[in-house]
Amino acid sequence: MTDLTDIAGGGEFTASDEEIERALEEASEELGEPVAEIEEEVAYILDSGTGSATNEGVAGTSVGANATASSDPRLEALELYKLNNRI
């Protein structure tokens, strides 16, 4: 299992480990999926391409232009994963 609190590189991580863990638990409840599975999928998003979730592009909006976006790529990748599961 990939632990998002142990990932290095790929962007500046500004969220605390507790914030990441809380966001994963909330996503697990929201999506009805195990935390470990969500964590693996989010790690895959981070590892694909350049390693930054903002470069995956959510409707072409960058973090700098999106007032609701997080500056932590792990949280952005988690939001991307949740969005994908809602579609």
Helix (H) or strand (E) holding 46: helix 35-47
Q: Give me Rg for the CA atoms of the chain.
A: 12
pLDDT band, very low/low/confident/very high, at 68 (cuts 50, 70, 90)? low
- Residue 45: per-residue pLDDT: 84
pLDDT band, very low/low/confident/very high, at 52 (cuts 50, 70, 90)? very low
- For residue 61, pLDDT over 60 is answered with no
More confident residue, 43 or 28: 28
Per-residue pLDDT of 9-41, as tens digits, reads 555 678 888 999 999 999 999 999 999 999 999
Closest CA to 83 of 31, 33, 35: 31
